[in-house]
Structures are given as C-alpha cells and as structure tokens.
Structure 1
Amino acid sequence: MLQKLRDRSSGWVATVIIGLLMIPFLFVVDQSYLGGVGANNVAQVKAPPTWWQGAPKWWPASMLWEHREVGVDEFRQRFEQERMRQREEQGDAFDPRAFETLENKRKVLESLLDEKALQLAAERSGVVVGDAAVREYIATIPAFQVDGRFDENRYRLALAAQVPARTPAQFEALVRESLQQSLIPLAVGTSAFLTDAELDRILRLSGETRDIEIALLPLAAEDTAPVGDDEIEAWYKANPSDFVRPEAVTLEYIEVLGANLPAPAPADEATLRKRFEEEKARFVEPEQRLASHILVRVDADADEATRKAAQEKAQRLADEARAAGADFAALAKANSEDPGSRDSGGDLGWVERGMMVGPFDDALFTMQAGEVRGPVQTDFGYHVLQLRELKQGAQVEFEQVREELAREQAQADRERGFSDQVGQLTDLVYQNPSSLAPAAEKLGLQVRTLGPFTREETVGIGAAPEVKKLAFSEAMIEDGTASDPIQLGPEHSVVIRVVEHAPEQPRPLAEVREQVVAAVRADRREKAAIAAADALVERLRKGEAIAAVAAEAGAELAPLPGLPRGVPAPSPEGNRAIFAVAAPAEGKPAAGRFELQGGRQAVFVVNAVHPGKPEELQAEQRKSLRAQLEQIDGSIAAEAYVAAIRKGFDVVVEESQL
C-alpha cells in the first residue's frame, strides 16, 4: 500500500498539488516557526532576502526573510538597567511609578531595535569580526586589568560575578556581536570632515553680532466680548489636558512625636552615679600652663637669609633667658614682636591644650615648670617659651555635674521612649497592615486623615517629600497596606496608609466653564496682540522709521547695538527671532517680532550685521573647534545611517509584551 502511495505521489501532478497545499499552510502555520514575533519576543526586525530586496511584505514566502528578535527577557533586562541608571542619576527624586510608562518602554525598545537592525545590516553586508579583534577589545576593558594589563583570572572572576554569570565564550560572543553592530556606524561617524571654508562660514555665523532697535509694545487690552457656547465647546474639546483633575490620594496616618510623649520620671541617685562612673573621664578639669613667650616674627614669603637671621636672634634671646638671674619679662618687652603680649612681658596667661598652634602647643606641654625653651618655629616666626607654673587636671566631683547628668539622662530616656513606641507601632502594624486603628488603639495614639491632595499640594505631613513619594507609589496605592515608619525629623515619625486614590481624570465642562471662557478670551487677546505687532512689522518692512512707528503705537524704543548671537537677550526667544531674519539689503529693511514673558509683544529692525572674524581665532582653538564640529557632524551621519537602515526593514512590535 505504501508503495502504491509512493508511486502515485510522484510526477508533475503531485508536485503541483503539494505546491497548492503549501500556500494555505504558509498562512496558518504558527508564525514562531517562520520568524514571527512569537510568545517569547517583544519585537522583530525583518529584512527581505538579499536576492529580492523589493519583496513585498505580503509575500507568502515570508519564511525566507531574514529576521532578528528582541526577546522578552532581553527587553526586561535592558529596561531594568535603564531603571537603575535613572535611579542613580536622580537619587531621591526618582519616581518608580512615573518610570513605568509606555513612553519609557518604547524608548528602551527603540534602542534594542536599532541594535538588531545594525546587526542584521552588518551580516547582510558581510561584516565579520575576527577572534583577534575580540581579544584585543576585551584586553582594553579596565575591569579585566591589573596594573594596566589584562589579567585572565580577573577576567574570569568578573564574568562569574555578573548577574547572570557568563562564561568567557558567552562574553566573547556578546563582544563580537556588539563590535559587528558598531563597525559601520562608527566608520560613518569618524569619516566626517570639515573644510576650511565650512569652518570659516560657521565662525562668521556663530560670531555674528547685529545692531538692532526694539520697540516694546504695550499690553493688548483685555478681551471682554461674549464667548459663545460653540466656542466654549470647541476650546474644551481641543485642549483636554488643560482641564483635568490631577491624581490625588487620601491618607490615614499615625504620627509619633517625642514632644507628645509623657515626660520620663526623673532618674534616681543610683542611676546618675552609675552614669557618672561610666563617663568619669569626661568630667576632668583640663591641665593648664601659665606661659610667657618672645616672638621674632618672620613673614611667610621671607627669603632664606631673613629666616636664618630671625632664627639666630631667637636663639640668642633664648640663651639670655636661660642665664642665671635673667628677667624674661624685660627681654620680652624689649624684643618681642607680638603686640598682644609684648607690653605685659610676653604673658599669655593660663593655656589649655589645643589653644595654641601645633608646634607651640607640643613644646609647651612637654616642658617643666621654670623651663625656657626655644627657638620654636611656627607660621608666625620663632618663639622663645617660658613655663612659669602648671596645674594638673583634676577630677570633677559628682555634685558639680549632677544637674548636667540629670538633663542628659532625661534626654536619653525620652529618646528611648520614642524609639520604643515607634518599635511597638511597627510590630502592631505588621500584624494588621490593612488598618491603622488597632495599633493606634493599643498605643493610645490617634488615627488622622489627610486629603485628598495632589502631588503639587503641600499640606500637613503630605508636604514631606518622603511621604509624598510613598503616598503616590504604585505599591502603596495598589496594596492599601501601611508603610514602614517614615522619619520626618528628630523624634518625629509617621506611618501612612493610602485609603483612597483618584487617578487623573477630565473635569466636566460645567465645572470648568469659567476657566474655558477665560482661556478663549486670553487666546483672543494674544491673537489680537500678534496681529497688531505683525501690522507694525509690515510697515517697518515698507520703510517706515521705527521711531515713528513706536511713537504712534505708544511703544518703548530701545537700541541694542552689537547684540551677539545665542545670548539670552532680550530673551532667548527674542534672540532667535532677531537672528532668524535675513540681513537688511538695499531698500529692504529687516524687521520682525517676538513675544516677551507676560504676553507683551516686541517689534524690531536690524540696522547692521557684523560677521564673526575667523582670522582672530587662535590656531589651537580653531583645531579644537574643528574636532568638536566634526564629531557632531559624524554623530548626525551615524544616526542618519541607522535611520536609513531601519527604514529599509520591517519592524513588528507586540505591544502586549511591553
């Protein structure tokens, strides 16, 4: 029987039948076998076969198209990397809920699609990366180097520490793929060049200044004309984002304030004495030394000869002071260059450790009573020291510091009481996270309600960034459970729970009717102001003097000679408008208008244009600028290459997988 079937299935008739059967099969077979998006992919980049570049997308034999997929796991990994990057960059300002937008997901996906398109284009162009190039690139990665040289052990350890861990073969395949993707766009980017003529043209444009006159027009009159129902309806529909009720939450919270806790009982005598014994070293009167000195001053910028002469003088004075029967005070009065102590015989009074500069302090506190030492060098010059008397440090008695100990113990007891209450609150909330009432009842605290309030409002504890960030977080909104304690300040913590969440939603027209009317009138007023300014510009272009036009319009006239391009004067928008108009030609005045902050209009005329002067640029500056401009031009060219590649391929995205 099998032989009969084989015999009858041969020949051209059977071939035609099988071919006809294949056509519907191409449409019903699981697309994952033919390179479709599939359940495990987010998107796919497809290219027609190289031997039929113009193959239509509906061509049944799409299985012959080349394709690269963006897998779900690959997309998730890249999205998490972007999340970590933004969290590190923004710090506390990072909002996880705001990050989880379709727009952010599409940005990450677009980057991956660019990579897949580049990889596909490189393979179709015959780009091959050799083993030597891969090894050379890996050897330059700092993470794999020890003392600036590639280290095999460091390389393997670093790969093993990655999440997920990679083998050298896997990492080398990743590097090979990355190099293959980047070779063509990198070559395109680095091929950019700038001729001297182009550079001179850019310098003349970027360094250009203009002599202008500006007429600042008065504000247009308020629009008071009636606004019809049709206008109101049309404006409301055309500007829905202007009339929305922002996202809002309502919280219940428990607040723990150290100031509201009962005052702790005064510490007993035994507790205070125990604290005193434990911290006895704190309560010691510092050692004091009664000192005098003679200063031979030396300026910081003095030369070596001056310093040596000062040192020799100080040495001579020290020798005299040590001689039997010497009068140190008399020597100080006659020779010291310290105006603060000279008249009192160099007397410095009782000195404690740390009161004087380092070398002076170190010398004084190693001297014996009656000793003379010097010269001692400091930033002020050379000193001769005399230690006249010393007082050893003495232990302070308990009674002298009892009040201080009592205050410290009371503060410690208050802090301990606050911490204990926050700890108890945390334990109770964990037992019943869906309600704060049981915990509050057991601790004698009050459950308060706040809201509804929006992200922009600052009300009560909701003004604290830590509270607002948690209150509008996806986890708190969806779970409806209590937060961990949030510290708002010293001895001030709160536990919050979102009890109601209102997403952003449009406000009904009846509610915002007056706002719509005001918006329509403001739009009319702005259009009237622009029309009036445009009419004045036309008069200026026809040759009327700006002084006469400004006087007639009641405008303020202000000349601005030598205005540079790109400066925020008279405003960023104004500068762009001034340099956007063509230079004045014979019989054709250059004029224009722009809007200032607050809706005020300004008209201007350009009286003269002064190009930049390339010849004044230094050779090194010119070289640096050329390199920067070539880099910019190269980046634009590389981006254009990627866009062209993407345009020639078919991209399919499975939105449900994002």
Structure 2
Amino acid sequence: MFDFVRNNQRVLQFVLVLLIFPSFVFLGLQGYEGFNEGGGDAAEVGDLKISTAEWDATHRDNIERLRAQDAELDIKQLDTPEAREQTLLSMLRERTLLFAALKQHLAISDERLMRLFQTNADFAFLRNPDGTLNRTLIEAQGMSVEQFEARLRQDLAVRQVLLGIGNSPTGSSVAAESALDALMQRREVRLARFEAGRYLAQAQPSEADIEAHYKDPANAEALSTPERLKIEYLVLDATQIAAKIELSEAEVQAAYDANIALYSQPEERRARHILIQSDPKDPAEKRAAAQAKAAEILALLRAKPERFAELAKERSEDSGSASKGGDLDYFGRGAMAKPFEDMVFKMPVGAISEIVETEFGLHIIQTTGERGKGKRSFAEVREEIEGSLRKERAQKLYAEQAETFSNLVYEQSDSLAPAAEKLGLTVQTASLIGRSPVKDDKVSPMGNAKFVAAVFAEPVLKEKRNTDAVDLGGNRLAAARVVDYREKRKLSVEEAREIVRSRVALALAAEQARKDGQAALAAWKTAEGAAAAEAGLTAPVSISRPNPQGLTEAAMNAVLAAPPDKLPTLLGIDLGGDGYLIARVDKVLPRDPAAGDAKQLKEQYAALWASVESDAYVETLKARYKARVLAPKAVKPAEAASR
C-alpha cells in the first residue's frame, strides 16, 4: 500500500489538472447544467447532455491550452470542423464513463478520499501544515471545498469504470508471440537487383516522348518554378529590449531584500525503508506476526547496517521501492505519513530507526541524505534577480513600444524605415518560396503561419504596402513589406527540355529493368534456370523490420508475406522508378534480437491490447446507454476560438 503514493503520482497529477481546470474534459453535473441554457444539445448519453455552448467552450479552452504550449501554432488549423468533431467525441467518451459510473453505483469512500489527499505528494501544495485543505487556494480556482471534493470523488469513480478492463488478462501467450512474430520475425533471403540506374545509358528518349511528357498535366507541377517572394521585415522582441536594460547594484540588492522568502530553501531528506504490511484492523495474531517479522529484520540490520538495500529487495513488502533497495528519493515535509516523516526528519543521516507504524504498516527507516534548510546568498541569486527585473521592465517597455510599432507600420505603409529609426530596430531581408511557413524555423518570422499569410495578402503583394503588425507570440511583433515577387509558372518546353529528358530516360530505364527482371524470374523458376538463379543471387542475408538491409517497405512486406510452409520461394517485386527486385526467401529465422527485450515487447503488446480492449468497452457502453452525437459534422468554427 505504501507504494501507492509514489507509483500513482503521474496519474493523480493528471487528475488534479482535470479538476482544477475542469473545462478540459468535464465539469461535474452542476457544471453541465450551467451550459445548457440555449444553443441546443450537441450530444447526449442517457439524461446527461452536452450543449453546443459547452462544446464551444471546451473546444476553445483546448485551443488556448495548445496555443499556450506553442504560441506559433496556426489557430485556423486547430479550429476546423474535423478538430471540433474530435473534441465532441472526446467529451462524449468522458460523459459515457461518468454515466456508467453513476449507473454502476461506483463510489469513493470518505476514508479513501481523505487518505489519498493527505498522503499524496502531488496534493502537498493544497494542504495546510495541519493536513487540511487550503481553502484560499481552492477558492482562487473558482471552486468551493465541496466542489473540489465532489470532482475528485467523481473523477476517481469514473476511472474505476475502466479499471477492470485495464487490469484484465491481455490474450494468450501464443497470441502475443504470433503478433510479435508478424512484426519482428527474420527471414533469410538472397537477392538480385535490376536497378534502373544501370539501364540509363541505354535509354534514349525520342522527341515524341519528350513532348508527350511535357504536355501531360500530371507532370505540370514538377515542371514549374515555385512562387518566390523577397521581403524586408522588422521584429520587435521583448527579449532584445530586456538585454539593453541596465540595472544598478542598489536596485538589485533591494529586490533581493524585499523577496528574501523566495530564496529560502525548504529542508528535504532522502530515505529508504523496509515495509512489513500491517493493518490496525487485522486480528491480533496477524499483527503480532508482522511485528515479529519486522523485529527480525531490524535485528539483522543492527548487526550489519550495510545490508539495508539487500534486505529491502528481499523482504520489503512495498513493491514500489523494494526493487530499488527501499529508496524513496528526496522529499519534503508533508509528503509522507506523519509518523514516518517525523522519524526521518529527526534522525541523523545514516541512522536506522526503530520500528515505525503508519496506516500502511510497519517501517524500518534509514535516512540517507539531506539538502536545503538554508538561504541562498545574494551572490548565488544575483543573476536570477537581474533577469527577473529586466524581464519585468522589458514587459512594460514592450507594451509601450508595441503600440508605437503597430501605428508606424500602418500609418507610414510605404516603408519600414520610420518604425526602425524610432525604435532602434534593424530592417532585415529574407526570401520565401511558396505560401507555407519555413519548416522547423522557430527563430525568424518565416516559420510563423500568421506572418507568412500576412505577406501574401493582396494589398501587401500587389501594392507593396507594409503588413500590419503580426503577433508572433512570446512578446514578439513583426511587420514586413514585399521587395520582389515572382509568380509560379510552368517552364517553357525549351527551359524544361533537360529536366524532361532526364525524367523520361529514368522511366524508360525503369521499364527495361522491370522487363529484364520479370524475364529472369520466369527463367529461374524453371528447372533449367536453377543454376542461373544460384549465380545471379547474392549471398544469403538476414532481414527484418528493425534491420531491412536496404529493402523498401513494399519489398519487406512481400518478403515477410511469403508463406513459411512453402519455402524456399522466388518473388518478383516491382520497385517503380527504382527498377525491379527478385528475392528468394529461403527460411524463417528466430526473432531479431535488435527488436528489443522479449519481456518488454510482451508488456508493450499487453498495454496495446488493454488500450484496444478499453476502447472497445467504451464503445459497448455507448451502445448500452444510447450515447449519440446530435450536431452535424460540419459546424461553423467558434468565433471566440479564432480570435
């Protein structure tokens, strides 16, 4: 039981996020009712409705959350009918699970709820020193204590709906082995490649071939010059403003003195323990046996303290820490059960405790480290303080300069020079090919979809006007003007002649390679051609999906699809423009060791199976409780989300 606190931190952290920011998934029954005023229903399950207003709000919140993670995301791509439909389907899934929890009378006891709250480190920031809930913090999130408790209880109940499915058996070992073999199996093959490149010298395209290829509409894109744009641009960046701000020694010292509490480090201890499970409700005989077992281990440790990790692995009943020699890593006050914490924080490092009893059982504890418990000096935090002060002042200056920047590029739309001179900025130049943002460019504006769309706007492109100021996110503004624009056009037949000739020659070469490969395959399949096959094939090689030995996906699929009971067998594989491949599959080999540890692969397979089972179970619940979408698929995007 003691390992529950540590093993479920990530799950409960996610739960807490859902509860404090409930619009991401669901709001609780009271919250649902508040959304149902007007706008109609978008979906329903039983008597639980999802209103159009709630759908809009949830989708808008999802977009804002994603934009907070990446300010350069194109909002238009996130607010499509398809994206809105996915939001609604996700909401309907969660609502179905809630309805199932209600129908199945799944509930979380007060005792379990209180134990989770008081012992889990993820809730530490919500606890007062005496272990009670910090009402001020909860109310700051727009919730009452009762609402917080109800939502936590509700979320845990919902998760119980899928608990049995997630922990159920995940198919037989035979099924797992068969599935993994399909992905990781090796085969021994011998190959003969008829590569198009070897036939290029023989390929002689005629004028008719060249003309036909040029006129084929399917080739127009490949024979066109891309749209090109050369621009000048300015960037107003709060980070660059901050770098120019000078600070005096006195004001940095004053900031340190005023915020000294921020630079105090809380004491943390590191400990390891051995747990013998025991419950106060157990019969006296069982409790006495647990005490005797703990006393025996303690006696061994008193004699040989260096065996602590060894004994923890062998005897501890905390499955979360036993494999790590009982190690619990560093933790602060409020993270562990109080008797356990009191013992850890009063013992010197290296000491081994007497037997300590908590609600989880009997513990033998050793404190293994300590840190914190002090104040960081001015010298240690000076750079941090300077950064904060510069950032704070830069925010104010940026707000003032952003207005000036926006006004100047709009009012004097024939040049960027006035804004550059007024704000001390540098006019930069860049080129763009096409109307898509430059991939992976997170530094310049060319990687920003809104900026690229602005420079291709009609007045900017045709009339050479400045763009409006574009918000790049992260306190950065940019504006641009077009210096040169060249439209996309198809090359003339003379301009494209060499390109066309190369393309046609490669196609002819590939065709000839294919013909020769098919002829060789037909000959090698005869009794008379066996010797030629032996001479024409490479030495045996072992191939698998982790180690394809240069084979394309199509070739790999063909080789692995050859029936194992009909080997050896000859296969012909068309490689398209690359030519033709003959593969003789000789035998099946054991699974590729490069695929990974067999145990881990089975665990991954089990996790995938459990996920599929859970999805199937949710679909069954939807059918049972008549969950359905009422809104049409194509819905006008929410205006608020596109702002």
Instruction: Output the TM-score relative to the length of structure 2.
Output: 0.48
Which structure has the bigger radius of gyration?
1
Instruction: Output the TM-score relative to the length of structure 1.
Output: 0.47
